[in-house]
């Protein structure tokens, strides 16, 4: 195992080194939170695939394959479908908004009254997502080094908090690219073919397992439907996902790169299910389905390769954990803390996204503030992960409230001009309360609460919007201008930066890998019942 340990240690050291390198790139709020909105297709596709395919999609996806066969792919498959829908139908408009959070989008669309409520809901969701991802370190480091649970969580958590705090989204993007490559090699190119060969091939697998293991809906039609409601719809509105969309340098990158990442998710889903099915043939009596991944890696792979595949599992957890952490900190700082400060007389100055010239001091302050919030949220996440043994119910509650309360006002704002601020608030309240009440009555893991919540949210949104006055024409005009990518506030720092970037402003350079004067993959620009299996 010495070689495997060396591979893991080098991988972890590399993550911290990239965090340090990313710190040199994060000169402004835009750089720190959304990588300067400058990612090209390759980096955008890699980082988007990394954020949605976490430890749950890897370890949990293999576990579902072990338990249900090929239909165990549905959980990760619905994640891919949601990402495809987001990329094809919404990502271009989302990227053109030039905001940092989902709540800022709601403020723009409805006139600034829905943000604080949606911010609290989104913060709770991203916090619990980060906690569950951090808990996963205990399983992986126990397999690797036999570490105590608390020590494993603290070790893994500190590494993620370290590189995320240093360079923000630039560090996370760079580490995500490494994690994407490691997952592709470790899971798709190494573990998948080895598992199938060890199990005797598909013919032997079909001969030794029940027919349900190869039925498309062997996991159950109701479960698939719930996955669609929670995971596919969750992809459309999660802050962790939107924050990656904001990193795209243009409409085409958001659409094309997201489509590539979504397609990759579909392949990854099938691979995990096949690996789990092979594990069922090889080890039919494991204590838990989630043990299937670690067991087949330890027994079926040679030294060195085993370390790489375990690094793939670790990278999957880290990509989700870091993405959820920066999303949680962004919401806490920009949607909650900044609003509270404004409520006592604080006024936030618009960010120009450049971090140079007369804006340098303000840019440094904003980067410092967001860095502090990542550190604070990271400490809170590690503490909660150490204190909780099982947060499935807490994550389910957060996810159901997120989708049940926010899906309708967000998609309604994008698709229906008659939707109003009162309708949005009514939808959040009706959907959230219905979900919570239904889970209290039927159980947190029941399938019905999300259906009831979405129905109540949609009804409240439509009825209250139609019963009240339409949204102010000036608000809608500004919203349509922003969606079109032509903000009306010409002359603002953000607008000036956009125009300067389009004209080839000096100091904003397109990147080519390996070029010392050009940074990687950039060009000028303006400024989910839930098992513990959310990637």
Query: Does a structural domain hold residue 243?
Result: yes
For residue range 462-499, what is the model confidence (pLDDT) as tens digits?
999 999 999 889 999 989 888 887 654 433 434 434 43
For the whole model, what pTM was predicted?
Answer: 0.79
User: Residues 268, 72: contact at Cβ < 8 Å?
Assistant: no
Q: What is the CA angle 419-80-130, rounded to 5?
A: 80
Give the model's confidence band at 114: pLDDT under 50 very low, under 70 low, under 90 confident, else very high: low
Q: Are residues 162 and 214 both part of a single domain?
A: yes
Q: Which of 189, 185, 160 has its CA nearest to residue 175?
A: 160
- Which range among 147-151, 228-232, 301-305, 495-499 has the greatest average pLDDT? 228-232
Query: Does a structural domain hold residue 516?
Result: no
User: Residues 47, 247: contact at Cβ < 8 Å?
Assistant: yes
Query: Does a structural domain hold residue 208?
Result: yes
Q: Report percent pLDDT > 70 for the chain.
A: 83
Give the model's confidence band at 283: pLDDT under 50 very low, under 70 low, under 90 confident, else very high: very high
Q: Are residues 428 and 337 both part of a single domain?
A: no
Query: Does a structural domain hold residue 528?
Result: no
Domain end, chosen from 364, 389, 414, is at 389
Largest interatomic CA distance in the chain: 71
For residue range 346-374, what is the model confidence (pLDDT) as tens digits?
444 444 444 344 455 555 667 888 889 99
Query: Does a structural domain hold residue 369?
Result: yes
Burial of 467 (0-12, 13-18, 19+ CB in 10 A): exposed
Return the pLDDT at 124.
86
Q: What does the DSSP 8-state code read for residue 333?
A: I
Q: Are residues 319 and 398 both part of a single domain?
A: no
Q: What does the DSSP 8-state code read for residue 350?
A: P
Q: Are residues 409 and 317 both part of a single domain?
A: no
Q: Are residues 120 and 225 both part of a single domain?
A: yes
Q: Which of 369, 337, 125 has its CA nearest to residue 238?
A: 125
Q: Are residues 114 and 165 both part of a single domain?
A: yes
Whole-angstrom distance, CA of residue 85 vs CA of residue 92: 12
Q: Report percent pLDDT > 90 for the chain.
A: 34
Task: Provide the number of structural domains found in the chain.
Answer: 2
Asked whether the predicted pLDDT for residue 231 surpasses 70, the reply is yes
Domain end, chosen from 366, 389, 412, is at 389
Whole-angstrom distance, CA of residue 311 vs CA of residue 191: 12
Q: Are residues 455 and 437 both part of a single domain?
A: yes
User: Residues 339, 115: contact at Cβ < 8 Å?
Assistant: yes
Q: Are residues 112 and 148 both part of a single domain?
A: yes
Domain end, chosen from 389, 424, 446, is at 389
Q: Are residues 379 and 444 both part of a single domain?
A: no
Query: Does a structural domain hold residue 533?
Result: no
Mean pLDDT of 151-164: 88
Q: Are residues 372 and 436 both part of a single domain?
A: no
Query: Does a structural domain hold residue 311?
Result: yes
Q: Are residues 378 and 412 both part of a single domain?
A: no
Q: Give the CATH number for residue 301.
A: 1.20.1730.10
Asked whether the predicted pLDDT for residue 446 surpasses 70, the reply is yes
Q: Are residues 424 and 358 both part of a single domain?
A: no
Q: The domain containing residue 456 runs over which residues? A: 392-488
């Amino acid at each position: 195992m010495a070689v495997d340990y060396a591979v893991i240690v080098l991988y972890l050291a590399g993550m911290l080194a990239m965090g340090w390198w990313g710190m040199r790139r994060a000169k402004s709020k835009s750089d720190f939170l959304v990588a300067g909105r400058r990612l090209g297709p390759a980096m955008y596709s890699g980082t988007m695939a990394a954020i949605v395919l976490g430890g749950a999609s890897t370890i949990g996806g293999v576990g579902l394959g072990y338990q249900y066969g090929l239909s165990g792919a549905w959980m990760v498959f619905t994640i891919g479908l949601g990402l495809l829908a987001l990329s094809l139908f919404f990502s271009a408009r989302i990227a053109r908004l030039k905001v940092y959070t989902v709540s800022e989008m709601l403020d723009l669309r409805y006139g600034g009254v829905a943000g604080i409520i949606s911010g609290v809901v989104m913060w709770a969701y991203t916090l619990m997502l980060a906690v569950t991802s951090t808990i996963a370190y205990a399983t992986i480091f126990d397999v690797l080094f036999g570490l105590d649970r608390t020590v494993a969580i603290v070790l893994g958590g500190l590494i993620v908090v370290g590189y995320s705090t240093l360079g923000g989204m630039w560090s996370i993007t760079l580490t995500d690219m490494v994690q994407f490559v490691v997952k592709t090699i470790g899971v798709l190119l190494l573990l998948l073919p080895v598992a199938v060969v060890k199990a005797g091939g598909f013919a032997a697998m079909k001969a030794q397992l029940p027919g349900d293991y190869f039925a498309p809906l062997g996991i159950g039609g109701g479960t698939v439907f719930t996955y669609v409601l929670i995971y596919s719809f969750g992809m459309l509105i999660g802050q962790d996902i939107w924050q990656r969309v904001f990193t795209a340098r243009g409409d085409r990158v958001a659409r094309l790169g997201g489509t590539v990442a979504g397609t990759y998710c579909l392949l990854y889903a099938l691979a995990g299910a096949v690996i789990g099915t092979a594990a069922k043939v090889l080890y039919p009596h494991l204590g838990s389905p989630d043990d299937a991944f670690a067991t087949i890696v330890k027994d079926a792979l040679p030294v060195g390769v085993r370390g790489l595949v375990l690094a793939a599992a670790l990278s999957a957890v880290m990509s989700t954990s870091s993405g959820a952490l920066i999303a949680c900190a962004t919401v806490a700082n920009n949607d909650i803390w900044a609003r509270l400060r404004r409520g006592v007389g604080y006024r936030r100055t618009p960010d120009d996204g450049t971090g140079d010239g007369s804006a340098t001091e303000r840019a440094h302050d904003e980067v410092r503030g967001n860095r502090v919030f990542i550190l604070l949220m990271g400490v809170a996440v590690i503490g909660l992960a150490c204190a909780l043994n099982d947060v499935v119910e807490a994550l389910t509650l957060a996810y159901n409230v997120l989708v049940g309360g926010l899906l309708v006002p967000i998609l309604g704002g994008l698709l229906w001009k008659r939707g109003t601020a009162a309708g949005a608030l009514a939808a959040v309240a009706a959907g959230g309360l219905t979900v919570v009440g239904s889970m209290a009555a039927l159980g947190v893991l029941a399938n019905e609460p999300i259906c009831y919540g979405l129905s109540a949210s949609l009804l409240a949104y439509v009825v209250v919007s139609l019963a009240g006055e339409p949204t102010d024409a000036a608000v809608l005009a500004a919203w349509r201008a922003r969606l079109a990518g032509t903000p009306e506030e010409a002359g603002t720092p953000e607008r000036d930066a956009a125009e300067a970037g389009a004209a080839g402003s000096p100091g904003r350079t397109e990147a080519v890998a390996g070029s010392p004067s050009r940074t990687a993959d950039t060009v000028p620009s303006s400024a989910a019942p839930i098992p513990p299996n959310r990637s």
